[in-house]
Amino acid sequence: DAKTTQPNSMESNEEEPVHLPCNHSTISGTDYIHWYRQLPSQGPEYVIHGLTSNVNNRMASLAIAEDRKSSTLILHRATLRDAAVYYCILRDVGGTSYGKLTFGQGTILTVHP
């Protein structure tokens, strides 16, 4: 499984933008970049995913480097409810991977009021 590297923790202030980085230097051509987050006492929640182009949805934006070896999840205005563990995951859609998600340690995001 291709691996991702994320900082262990990050901090932000409420209503400020947050940029969560992820390195995935061994990404293959069939790997999608997925982001999930896990709030305390809950299961992971899908945030966003992309392949090559930058992506936007109601929760966040995903900026993907041109060589695809890194990506950044952008929360445009952090709220206290965004405090969670954020996981960057490479999901292989080729072969017989069938969409298994391989979670790393993730980034613990703390949002200060």
Partner 1 sequence: DAGVTQSPTHLIKTRGQQVTLRCSPKSGHDTVSWYQQALGQGPQFIFQYYEEEERQRGNFPDRFSGHQFPNYSSELNVNALLLGDSALYLCASGEGGGNYGYTFGSGTRLTVV
Which positions touch partner 1 (CB under 8 A)? 34, 41-46, 49, 85, 87, 93, 96-106
User: 68 vs 106, which CB is nearer to partner 1?
Assistant: 106
Choose between 80 and 93: whose C-beta lies nearer to partner 1: 93
| Strand duo 18-23 + 70-75: pairing | antiparallel
> Alpha carbon of 8 to those of 3, 20, 55, 57, 105: distances in Å?
15, 11, 24, 25, 7
Beta pairing, strands 55-56 & 18-23:
unpaired
Nearest approach in angstroms of CB 83 to partner 1 is: 16
Closer residue to partner 1 (CB): 13 or 103: 103
Taking the complex as a whole, how short is the minimal distance between the CB of residue 41 and partner 1, in angstroms? 7
- The least distance separating partner 1 from the CB of residue 94, rounded to whole angstroms, comes to 12
Closer Cβ to partner 1, 40 or 113, answer by number: 40
Query: In the structure encoding, which two tokens stand for residue 60, read together?
Result: 């966040």
CA distance 74 to 50: 13
